[in-house]
Amino acid sequence: MLEALAIAALDPGYCQIMTPALPYWRLSGFYFFYFALLGATAPFFSLYFDHLGFSAARIGELLAIPMLMRCLAPNLWGWLGDASGRRLAIVRLGALCTLGAFALIFVGQSYAWLALVMALHAFFWHAVLPQFEVITLAHLREQSARYSQLRLWGSIGFIVAVVGLGQLFEWLGLGIFPWVIVSIMGGIVLGSFWVPNAQPETRTGQQEQGGFIAQLRRPGVLAFYACVALMQLSHGPYYTFLSIHLEALGYGRGLIGLLWALGVLAEILLFLAMAALLQRFSLRRLLLASFLMAALRWLLLGNLADHLAILLLAQLMHAATFGCFHVAAIHFVQRSFGARQQGQGQALYATLSGVGGAFGALYSGYSWTSLGPAWTFALASLAALIAAVIVATRLREEGP
Which residues are CB-contacts of 255 (< 8 A; sequence separation ≥ 6)?
A: 166, 246
Contact (Cβ atoms closer than 8 angstroms) between residue 351 and residue 218:
no
* Mean per-residue pLDDT over the chain, rounded: 86
Residue-wise pLDDT for 75-109, tens only, equals: 788 788 878 888 899 999 999 999 999 999 999 99
Q: Is the pLDDT of residue 377 over 80?
A: yes
DSSP code per residue over 283-311: HHHHHHHHHHHHHHHHHHHHHHTTSHHHH
Q: How many residues does the chain have?
A: 400
Residue-wise pLDDT for 28-40, tens only, equals: 999 999 999 988 9
Distance of alpha carbon 53 from alpha carbon 55, whole angstroms: 7
Domains in the chain with CATH codes: 21-198 (1.20.1250.20), 215-399 (1.20.1250.20)
| pTM of this structure | 0.73
Residue-wise pLDDT for 172-220, tens only, equals: 999 999 999 999 999 999 999 999 988 776 655 544 456 778 888 888 8
Distance of alpha carbon 192 from alpha carbon 75, whole angstroms: 20
Look at residue 400 in the predicted model and tell me its pLDDT. 58
Please report, as a single letter, which amino acid is at residue 177.
F
How far is C-alpha 145 from the chain's CA centre?
A: 19
Look at residue 254 in the predicted model and tell me its pLDDT. 79
Q: Is the pLDDT of residue 118 over 70?
A: yes
Q: Is the pLDDT of residue 222 over 50?
A: yes
Q: Which of 213, 201, 169, 130 is nearest to 45 (CA)?
A: 169
Q: Is the pLDDT of residue 390 over 50?
A: yes
Q: Is the pLDDT of residue 277 over 80?
A: yes
Which residues are CB-contacts of 379 (< 8 A; sequence separation ≥ 6)?
A: 363, 367
What is the average pLDDT across 258-270?
88
Look at residue 10 in the predicted model and tell me its pLDDT. 44
Look at residue 79 in the predicted model and tell me its pLDDT. 80
Distance of alpha carbon 311 from alpha carbon 300, whole angstroms: 7
Residue-wise pLDDT for 128-145, tens only, equals: 888 898 898 888 877 766
Contact (Cβ atoms closer than 8 angstroms) between residue 226 and residue 383:
no
The larger pLDDT score, comparing residue 149 to residue 54, is at 54
Neighbours of 262 (CB within 10 A): 19
Lowest mean pLDDT among 216-220, 281-285, 313-317, 362-366: 216-220
Radius of gyration of the chain (CA): 20
Q: Is the pLDDT of residue 12 over 50?
A: no
What is the average pLDDT across 331-336?
87
What is the average pLDDT across 325-352?
84
Q: Is the pLDDT of residue 337 over 90?
A: no
State what percent of residues in the chain have pLDDT above 70. Answer: 91
What is the average pLDDT across 237-252?
91
Helix (H) or strand (E) holding 266: helix 253-280
Distance of alpha carbon 368 from alpha carbon 137, whole angstroms: 40
Q: Is the pLDDT of residue 165 over 50?
A: yes
Q: Which of 353, 354, 336, 357 is nearest to 345 (CA)?
A: 336
* Residue 43 burial by Cβ neighbours in a 10 Å radius (0-12, 13-18, 19+): buried
Neighbours of 47 (CB within 10 A): 19
Neighbours of 107 (CB within 10 A): 10
Q: Is the pLDDT of residue 265 over 60?
A: yes
Look at residue 203 in the predicted model and tell me its pLDDT. 55
Q: Which of 139, 390, 158 is nearest to 260 (CA)?
A: 158
- The gap between the terminal CA atoms of the chain, to the nearest Å, is 31
Q: Which of 21, 33, 27 is nearest to 9 (CA)?
A: 27
What is the average pLDDT across 390-400?
80
DSSP 8-state class, residue 340: G
Distance of alpha carbon 83 from alpha carbon 148, whole angstroms: 27
Contact (Cβ atoms closer than 8 angstroms) between residue 150 and residue 27:
yes
Look at residue 202 in the predicted model and tell me its pLDDT. 61
If pLDDT is split at 50, 70 and 90, which confidence band does 313 have?
very high
